[in-house]
Amino acid sequence: MKFKPTLLLVLLLSTMFSFAQNTLKLDAIFSSKMVLQRQQNIPVWGLAKPETKVEVIFRSDTISTYSDNQGAWRVNFKAYEAGGPFTLLVQSEKESITLNEILIGEVWLASGQSNMHLDLKRTLDGDRVAKNANNPNIRLYYMKPTFPTGKDGVHTLEELDKIQNNQYFNTQGWMKVTPENVLYFSAVAYYFSEKLQEELDVPIGIIHNAVPGSPIESWLSRKDIKQDSVISNYVEQRWVDKEDEKDAMISVAKKQISLKNPGVKQKHPWMPNYNYKNGILPLIHTPIKGVIWYQGESNAESPGIYKTMFSKMVKTWRADWNLNFPFYYVQLTSREDRPAWPEFRFAQSELLNQVPNSKMVVITDAGDRQDTHAKNKKPVGERLALMALGDTYHILKNYESPMFDSISVKKNKFTIHFKGAFKCLKTSDGNAVVGFEISEDNKQFRSISPKIQGKKVTFKYASKNNKTLYVRYAWKSYTEANLVSKKGLPVSTFRTKI
């Protein structure tokens, strides 16, 4: 029988042939409307036919290279100052890619878990803010998680397949700020970028890859987990199958993947190393200015090991980027029925002494009694921006929450000293200081109300038999402690022994 190709088959073969020939590609981070980091060398990379000449043109510079035997290629442009819009042209012998409306400015990574991920739509005044969003000098890159869409919050088989094949994050490239684009974008990251752009007057790019529910071990490298016996033991015990699972996070994860094939060891985005592998490693060749991080709720019961994991995570990320970038993180807020949170907040403050070039934003005044996902996210984003403006860009002086420094004693007078970039202390409501407690046995505490003296507070206390004293501040899961800096930034939770 003589073969007669139909029109449909001809078109199909033609399409397949064209697709096979269309091999020139840029990495997923590159798209029109993107922001490139100023004052750092700019790498551009992608794929082409093996051993093919590739020419890249940006601004007035042209760089040529050849793809290797696997088709990978990369060029490096010099550092530029802020500006734009510009065009990037990539071309081989028969193919070309053109990206338009590219800006050069400051690029920050916003990462963590649900409170970083929470979008404007679900936050206080978010609809109004989104409706008025139109700043052309802010650009957004959203690595959207694959959320469970099955019945009762369970991942569908299609979603499980994506997760199993490390395709959990989804992106449509860089986006301009429009009401539609910001409405379902991280509220914290948006407020951060808005404040930064207003003060710096340069383009701002935000890469957002936060994963709701994710514990810090999911953001760790496999090497960091395996090489530390304390971490590896913690992770193994936490994630081992148990008949009577008491860890709420693990229970939710197991439920979400309950439709899995019994013969498959199904992955989940909260599992150790998953988000590092799929959310961080793909970005490490992208120059950034720094990281803002809001995470901890899924590790609040283990403050000691959290400090170890956090320190290793930051060190590894910096090594991956080969850059000692600033790392600004958010202390957990206030919420009732979370007895572990005061200890965890204190552990987070101790990280300031362990992780160089890091700062912590305090938001205990922006919590919600009954909701872990407090809706008032504007102070969170703006305080992160204040930290960057003061600590990284050096254009502000009073930008930091007061942190406990030391306590001195003279007879029965005690003076508590604070450190940080702030001018003086006051109370948020104009009333007497609330939130300090003292104890002689570290069990039974009673309230005290110190007097403010500039950047210090003082109180008198007559101890019986010169006993050891224990002083703490804001040591409640939902605290109404009211000591703040002149700029209104809350004093961090702390405790000390005298």
Per residue in 350-361, pLDDT (tens digit) is 999 999 999 999
Q: Cα 459 vs. chain centroid, distance in angstroms?
A: 39
> Is it the case that residue 5 has pLDDT exceeding 70?
no
pLDDT in tens, 8-56: 333 333 433 344 445 999 999 999 999 999 999 999 999 999 999 999 9
Q: Give the pLDDT score at 14.
A: 40
The CA distance from 309 to 316, in Å, is 10
pLDDT in tens, 140-170: 999 999 999 999 999 999 999 999 999 999 9
Tell me the one-letter amino acid at 50: P
Tell me the one-letter amino acid at 164: Q
Q: What is the DSSP string of 356-388?
A: TTEEEE--GGG--SS-SS-S--HHHHHHHHHHI
pLDDT in tens, 326-378: 999 999 999 999 999 999 999 999 999 999 999 999 999 999 999 999 999 99
> From start to end of 92-233, where are the E strands?
96-112, 138-142, 174-176, 204-208
The distance between the two most distant Cα atoms of the chain, rounded to a whole number of Å, is 109
Q: What percent of the chain has pLDDT over 70?
A: 96
Contact 82, 289 (CB under 8 A): no
Q: Give the pLDDT score at 200.
A: 98
> Is it the case that residue 95 has pLDDT exceeding 90?
yes
Query: What is the band of 1 on the pLDDT scale with cuts at 50, 70, 90?
Result: very low
Find residue 107's DSSP bridge partners.
205
> From start to end of 313-455, where are the E strands?
327-330, 358-361, 403-410, 413-419, 425-427, 436-439, 446-448, 451-453
Q: Cα 402 vs. chain centroid, distance in angstroms?
A: 22
Find residue 57's DSSP bridge partners.
62, 89
Distance of CA 11 to CAs 3, 6, 8, 18, 21, Å?
Answer: 16, 9, 5, 10, 15
Q: Give the pLDDT score at 22.
A: 54
Q: Give the pLDDT score at 3.
A: 37
Query: What is the band of 409 on the pLDDT scale with cuts at 50, 70, 90?
Result: very high
Q: Give the pLDDT score at 467.
A: 83
Contact 90, 56 (CB under 8 A): yes
Nearest to 269 by CA among 160, 421, 132: 160
Range with the poorest average pLDDT among 227-231, 333-337, 411-415: 411-415
Nearest to 101 by CA among 88, 90, 91: 88
Computed over every residue of the chain, the mean pLDDT equals 94
Distance of CA 306 to CAs 252, 299, 311, 427, Å?
Answer: 21, 7, 8, 31
Find residue 220's DSSP bridge partners.
none
Angle at 360 between CA 358 and CA 364, to 5 degrees: 170
Q: State the average pLDDT over residues 70-94.
A: 97
Query: What is the band of 179 on the pLDDT scale with cuts at 50, 70, 90?
Result: very high
Q: Give the pLDDT score at 13.
A: 36
Phi, psi for 309 (deg, rounded to 5): -65, -40
The CA distance from 261 to 62, in Å, is 51
Q: Give the pLDDT score at 2.
A: 39
The CA distance from 380 to 190, in Å, is 11
Q: Give the pLDDT score at 17.
A: 38
> Is it the case that residue 208 has pLDDT exceeding 70?
yes
The CA distance from 80 to 33, in Å, is 17
pTM of the model: 0.94
> Is it the case that residue 105 has pLDDT exceeding 70?
yes
Domains of the chain listed by start with CATH number: 22-104 (2.60.40.10), 106-392 (3.40.50.1110), 403-497 (2.60.40)
Q: Give the pLDDT score at 463.
A: 79
**Residue in the structure block whose two tokens are 């936490």:** 238
Angle at 240 between CA 293 and CA 272, to 5 degrees: 25
pLDDT in tens, 311-329: 999 999 999 999 999 999 9
Integer-rounded Cα radius of gyration of the chain: 26
Contact 218, 404 (CB under 8 A): no
Q: State the average pLDDT over residues 259-282.
A: 95
The length of the chain is 498
Q: Give the pLDDT score at 6.
A: 44
CB atoms within 10 A of CB 444: 8
Q: What percent of the chain has pLDDT over 90?
A: 92
Q: What is the DSSP string of 158-183?
A: HHHHHHHTT---B---EEE--HHHHH
Report helix, strand or coil for 181.
helix
> Is it the case that residue 484 has pLDDT exceeding 60?
yes
Report helix, strand or coil for 71.
coil
